[in-house]
Amino acid sequence: MRKRKLSTRVGAGLAAAIASAIVVPLAFTSSHREAPNIMLDPSADNTDVYAWTAPGAEDSITVASNWIPGQVPANGPNFFRFDDRARYYINFDNTGDGVADIKYRYEFDTDVRNPNSFLTAGPNTTDYAGLNQIQTYDVTREEYKKGKLKDTEVVAEDLNVAPSNIGPKTFPNYEDDFVPGAISDLPDGGKVFAGQREEPFFVDLGAAFDAINVRVGTGNQGQGKDDFSGYNTSSIVMQLPEEQVTKDGEPVADMDSANAVVGVWSTTERRRLEVRNADYNAGSPGSVSGKKNKWVQVSRLGNPLVNEVVIPLGMKDRFNRTTPDRDAELYGQFVTEPELAAVLNALFGINAPETDRADIVQAVLQGIPGLNQHSGQNAGTPVDTLKLNLGVDPSDEESRFGALAGDLAGYPNGRRPIDDVVDIDLEVVAGILHDPPNAVPLGDGVDQNDAPFLEEFPYLGTPYSGFDSNPSQRFEPSHPPTPAGGP
Ligand SMILES: [Ca+2]
Ligand SMILES: [Ca+2]
Ligand SMILES: [Ca+2]
């Protein structure tokens, strides 16, 4: 590997040794149905963003972004697809000001070949040509300078979207027949995938929203109930040569390079005016075009859990509409005085500091100096983007506690699918990065996904089929209690 191997010089300073685990399960969604308005618009609701350096693709940035939460696999006959009337974006900020410098725009188009059939695919369908309903998409790269659009380039057109996994009688070899055909190389390097995947977020959700209930016997040592087990989601996964997203357009030499850190987040836009019951078969996109009918941002997501548990209810939809460069001004107080810390103290008496939480601002919004904080004039600007240092190689031994456990290739340095962001963020809110530290081994008792991730692109797992649909019942204990190994 060309990049310098890391010591744990940053992680060692972060991690605090914990002798005993207390039993406090708490949980949240990352950003599933997190705000009153976007909850009513699931096809525009983005749920999780992951950005990491994948093994075998060390010179690229890998990003996965999910939309349409809580897909019950059996929900036919119209299964799940992206909305042709929306624009889906993956955004990159390479200067640290919270303003996108590069955006990849994904736009979808659905075609029904035989409108007289109620099936989106007939029995024994083994290729895209056999689908009755097929969705395709175009990818457009937009380049900005200080927020001004400088260049727009359509980099791919009419790519296949992997269909929803209906069942073995419809798709006898779903993964082999449809995933390779949904992976497309981009002309300037890199590749993209769009389509259904297994829901990679893992959490004990039921406990959290029942007034932060407690399941006795769990903590950060496993045996919780993964309420997202058995569900699917709609994913866009892209892998780009890193020089396509760095601020100088060059590859990253090492983790100390001035171009090493890139901020990532995803957004969804809709037309201000939209026809909700447009006729897809007539080829109408359902959007009312025209100069005055602007595209407006209706959802965004960078770090997991920010809009979920940091932003108060009355502001969650505004958070979805605003841009990261305004985060400090609009929402800074909710981070420095997090309600969650007070709630945790009231319920469990864990002595989490309740005010002046510069440590949370740094971990989530500013980036950690020497690891994933931008360099240059915007160093330390608090913006909700997922900040990844592209000079950090993948870890030989990954820890679900990521950087807190000295595994610098993990959250909050970017985010890998295996990172246990619920446990990490609970421990951060409790004060593990605080000075002085307040190390409390909080966790929801769910410490890994219910389905395996793939070792290769597109990394996210095979979606459950409609035939095998059994949502939220796949936790029965999928693995024994794990040792307290984390921080
Ligand atoms: Ca920027
Ligand atoms: Ca899952
Ligand atoms: Ca967990």
Across the range 168-196, mean pLDDT stands at 97
As given in the structure block, the two tokens for residue 122 are 């007939």
DSSP 403: G
- Per-residue burial over 206-244, b if 16 or more Cβ lie within 10 Å, else e, is ebbeeebeebeebbbbbbbbbbbbbbbbbbbbbbbbbbb
As given in the structure block, the two tokens for residue 120 are 């989106």
Whether 24 has a pLDDT exceeding 50, the answer reads no
d(CA 358, ligand 2 centre) in Å: 33
As given in the structure block, the two tokens for residue 88 are 């889906």
Neighbours of 127 (CB within 10 A): 10
Q: How confident is the model at residue 317 (pLDDT cuts 50, 70, 90)?
A: confident
CA-CA distance, 386 to 75, in Å (whole number)? 32
Give the H or E element holding residue 159: strand 148-160
How many C-alpha atoms does 3 have within 13 Å on its Cβ side?
25
Q: Give the ligand whose atoms come closest to the C-alpha of residue 24.
A: 3
Residue with tokens 């780009």: 240
d(CA 394, ligand 3 centre) in Å: 21
CA-CA distance, 72 to 77, in Å (whole number)? 12
Which comes out higher in pLDDT, residue 427 or 282? 427
d(CA 378, ligand 1 centre) in Å: 9
How many C-alpha atoms does 475 have within 13 Å on its Cβ side?
22
Which among 382, 395, 405 has a CA at the least distance from the CA of 325? 382
Question: In this predicted structure, what is the pLDDT of residue 474?
Answer: 52
User: Which tens digits make up the pLDDT trace of 355-382?
Assistant: 999 999 999 899 999 999 999 999 999 9
Q: How confident is the model at residue 276 (pLDDT cuts 50, 70, 90)?
A: low
Q: Give the ligand whose atoms come closest to the C-alpha of residue 420.
A: 3
User: Which tens digits make up the pLDDT trace of 254-268?
Assistant: 999 999 999 999 999
CA-CA distance, 394 to 411, in Å (whole number)? 12
State how far the alpha carbon of 465 is from the alpha carbons of 44, 168, 217, in Å. 23, 8, 32
Q: Residue 147 in 3-state DSSP?
A: coil
DSSP 184: E
Question: In this predicted structure, what is the pLDDT of residue 54?
Answer: 98
Question: In this predicted structure, what is the pLDDT of residue 126?
Answer: 96
d(CA 65, ligand 3 centre) in Å: 20
Residues facing residue 153 across a β-bridge: 141
% of the chain exceeding 90 in pLDDT: 59
User: Which tens digits make up the pLDDT trace of 133-144?
Assistant: 999 999 999 999
Give the H or E element holding residue 137: strand 133-145
d(CA 202, ligand 2 centre) in Å: 6
Which comes out higher in pLDDT, residue 36 or 90? 90
Least confident of 50-59, 160-169, 339-348, 388-397: 339-348
Q: Where are the alpha helices (DSSP H) in 392-443?
A: 421-430
As given in the structure block, the two tokens for residue 149 are 């659009």
Which comes out higher in pLDDT, residue 212 or 71? 71
Q: Give the ligand whose atoms come closest to the C-alpha of residue 325.
A: 1
Specify the amino acid at residue 143. Answer: E
- Our measurement of the distance from residue 442's CA atom to the centroid of its chain's CA atoms, rounded to an integer in Å, reads 22
Residues 6+ apart with CB under 8 A from 345: 351, 352, 354
User: Which tens digits make up the pLDDT trace of 327-361?
Assistant: 989 888 888 999 889 988 887 788 999 999 999 99
Task: Please provide the DSSP assignment of 48-112 as one string.
Answer: EEEEE--TT-TTEEEEEEEEEEEE-TT--SS-----TTEEEEEEEESSSSSS-SEEEEEEEEEEE
Q: Give the ligand whose atoms come closest to the C-alpha of residue 374.
A: 1
Whether 113 has a pLDDT exceeding 80, the answer reads yes
d(CA 49, ligand 2 centre) in Å: 15
d(CA 466, ligand 1 centre) in Å: 42
d(CA 24, ligand 3 centre) in Å: 11
CA-CA distance, 303 to 428, in Å (whole number)? 13
Which among 388, 482, 383 has a CA at the least distance from the CA of 53? 388
As given in the structure block, the two tokens for residue 254 are 């090492």
d(CA 55, ligand 3 centre) in Å: 23
Opening angle at CA 386, ends 52 and 207, nearest 5? 95
Question: In this predicted structure, what is the pLDDT of residue 275?
Answer: 66
Opening angle at CA 367, ends 363 and 370, nearest 5? 115
Q: Give the ligand whose atoms come closest to the C-alpha of residue 246.
A: 1
d(CA 99, ligand 1 centre) in Å: 4
Residue with tokens 């002046």: 356
Across the range 446-475, mean pLDDT stands at 88
Arithmetic mean of pLDDT over the chain:
84
Q: Give the ligand whose atoms come closest to the C-alpha of residue 203.
A: 3
Main-chain dihedrals φ then ψ at residue 484, nearest 5 degrees: -70, 0
